[in-house]
């Protein structure tokens, strides 16, 4: 066995900053700091756009083509869930890949509907004027419902990681922090992309959000 880097730094930073920002988005809304809520929402949107681009140009394990497999492969993977076996997965497993897509989509809906939302008092999303009050109210409703869905999926996500630890004795959390995993010698490590490319991608993503917000 030898350690190989399975998660590049940009993907790991994306994950943990996203976790903090989702928590902040919830808290700023609860405490009625709506200016901050919107800023945090823009940051989530920029992060999400970054991740989608990184899913095409990033390191092998970050690429959608590297982890989106057929639903059948996902079911096959789930049917072996209770089997205790060594972790030889470089990147997301076949079932985890779908979970990642679902989470990214839900967060996209959350940030997207937020742009059109209003709170009936003084907060208006920057794109509310494009749809008018009635449709904005409806999208605000979806914004609230969708967050409940996000909470449920995040609980499932964390439970799944616990299940891998308990049933399979596989620690998925450590690689998401350190980037490395012990793998059988001879296993080819994934190709990693430069963090500078990630930085440029983030700048593009932030630029897209700035453009949307000024629209
Ligand atoms: C993606 C990250 C975001 C998360 C996790 C999030 C979460 C939430 C939550 C939990 C609520 C309370 C919903 C309810 O009371 O049922 C809320 C309300 C709201 N959010 Fe967001 N939001 C995000 C992004 C945004 C963005 C980008 C904007 C606008 C730029 C925005 C604007 C609003 C507004 C105006 C409300 C008030 C709605 C009301 O009073 O009913 N949100 N958000
Ligand atoms: C707001 C909460 C969370 C959200 C929205 C979230 C979302 C995500 C996303 C989108 C990915 C895919 C990463 C990528 O390829 O870019 C992921 C992976 C992962 N997350 Fe989370 N996460 C959350 C909380 C957590 C927590 C609390 C933990 C710790 C138990 C955790 C542990 C992991 C691990 C270990 C992976 C990699 C799984 C694998 O090996 O395939 N996440 N998460």
Contacts of 103 (CB under 8 A, 6+ apart): 150, 153, 154, 157
CA distance 66 to 117: 35
pLDDT in tens, 55-77: 999 999 999 999 999 999 999 99
The reported pLDDT for the residue numbered 52 is 98
| Residue 106 in contact with ligand 2 by CB distance below 6 A | no
Q: Which of 13, 15, 166, 175 to mutate to test the pocket of ligand 2 (most atoms within 8 A of CB)?
A: 15
Residue-range domains of the chain with CATH: 2-214 (1.20.950.20)
Beta partners for 4?
181
pTM: 0.95
CA distance 96 to 99: 5
Question: Within 13 Å, how many C-alpha atoms sit on residue 102's CB side?
Answer: 14
pLDDT score of 215 more than 90: no
User: For the chain, how far is it from start to end, CA to CA, in angstroms?
Assistant: 53
Q: Which long-range contacts (CB under 8 A, 24 or more apart) does 37-45 make?
A: 37/123, 38/114, 38/123, 38/125, 38/126, 41/110, 41/111, 41/114, 41/115, 42/209, 42/213, 44/18, 44/107, 44/110, 44/111, 45/111, 45/112, 45/115, 45/209, 45/212
Q: Which of 27, 28, 29 to mutate to test the pocket of ligand 1 (most atoms within 8 A of CB)?
A: 29
pLDDT in tens, 141-154: 999 999 999 999 99
The reported pLDDT for the residue numbered 104 is 98
Q: Treating both helix axes as pointing N-terminal to C-terminal, what angle do 34-57 and 195-214 enclose, rounded to 10 degrees? A: 130
Report CA torsion sign: 79, 83, 87, 88.
negative
User: How sure is the predictor about 87, in pLDDT bands with cuts at 50, 70 and 90?
Assistant: confident
CA distance 1 to 208: 43
CA distance 55 to 75: 23
pLDDT in tens, 103-152: 999 999 999 999 999 999 899 999 999 999 999 999 999 999 999 999 99
| Residue 172 in contact with ligand 2 by CB distance below 6 A | yes
User: How sure is the predictor about 186, in pLDDT bands with cuts at 50, 70 and 90?
Assistant: confident
Contacts of 178 (CB under 8 A, 6+ apart): none
User: How sure is the predictor about 85, in pLDDT bands with cuts at 50, 70 and 90?
Assistant: confident
pLDDT in tens, 193-202: 999 999 999 9
Q: What is the mean pLDDT of the chain?
A: 96
The reported pLDDT for the residue numbered 55 is 98
Q: Which of 20-34, 77-91, 114-128 has the lowest mean pLDDT?
A: 77-91
| Residue 180 in contact with ligand 1 by CB distance below 6 A | no
């Amino acid at each position: 066995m030898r350690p190989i880097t399975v998660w590049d730094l940009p993907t790991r930073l994306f994950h943990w900053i996203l976790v903090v920002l989702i928590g902040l988005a919830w808290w700023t809304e609860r405490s009625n700091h709506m200016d901050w809520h919107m800023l945090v929402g823009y940051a989530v949107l920029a992060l999400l756009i970054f991740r989608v681009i990184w899913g095409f140009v990033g390191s092998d394990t970050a690429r959608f083509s590297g982890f989106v497999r057929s639903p059948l492969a996902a079911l096959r993977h789930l049917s072996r869930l209770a089997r205790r076996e060594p972790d030889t997965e470089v990147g997301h497993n076949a079932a985890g890949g779908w979970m990642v897509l679902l989470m990214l989509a839900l967060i996209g809906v959350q940030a997207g509907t937020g742009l059109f939302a209003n709170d009936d008092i003084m907060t208006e999303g920057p794109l509310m004027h494009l749809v008018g009050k009635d449709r904005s109210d409806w999208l605000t409703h979806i914004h609230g419902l969708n967050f409940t869905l996000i909470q449920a999926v995040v609980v499932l996500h964390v439970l799944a990681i616990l299940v891998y630890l308990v049933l399979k004795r596989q620690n998925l959390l450590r690689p998401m922090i350190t980037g490395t995993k012990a793998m059988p010698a001879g296993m080819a490590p994934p190709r990693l992309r430069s963090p500078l490319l990630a930085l440029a991608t983030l700048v593009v993503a932030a630029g897209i959000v700035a453009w949307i917000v000024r629209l």
